Amino acid sequence: METVNALGRRKEAVARVYVNEGAGKIEINGRDIEKYFPSSILRYIVLQPLNKLGVAEKYDIKVNLDGGGFKGQAEALRLAIARALVKINPEDKTALKAEGFMTRDAREVERKKPGQPKARKHFQFSKR
């Protein structure tokens, strides 16, 4: 099997994934997944598509992660891994889609408007 690559995005985070056959090693920006995501919850989010298909120990994954926060990066990586797994085996798409792993969460931060402190918040109104 040759290298399969995929892209995942969430908020400002971008994950580029390269999947090879291997022993289940995940390397993110040159670091192991346990070092990059110390939180077990974030590691769980990343591994969801692999665990759903039962192929966590079958592929080595190399990742370039950029931008965003921890949660956004984890969810971008989950989408990228799911897309790569579908490229490898298209029959897996229905199982991953049913769990919601194939859907790009398009919510972005709303821009700040002039004359306001934030996007929706207003300065206090004073009548006198």
Give the tens place of pLDDT for each residue, 40-76. 999 999 999 999 999 989 999 999 999 999 999 999 9
| pLDDT average, residue stretch 118-125 | 96
Cβ distance 71 to 65 under 8 Å? Answer: no
- Other C-beta atoms within 10 Å of 31: how many? 13
The conformation of residue 112, written as its DSSP 8-state character, comes to P
Read off the amino acid at residue 64: N
According to the model, what pLDDT value does residue 2 have?
86
According to the model, what pLDDT value does residue 125 have?
93
Q: Could you give the C-alpha distances from 125 to 78, 114, 118, 119, 121, in angstroms and in order?
A: 44, 16, 15, 17, 12
Residue 90 has pLDDT above 90, yes or no: yes
| pLDDT average, residue stretch 112-124 | 96
In a 3-state reduction of DSSP, which class is residue 13? strand
pTM for the structure as a whole: 0.91
Structure tokens at 93: 């798409």
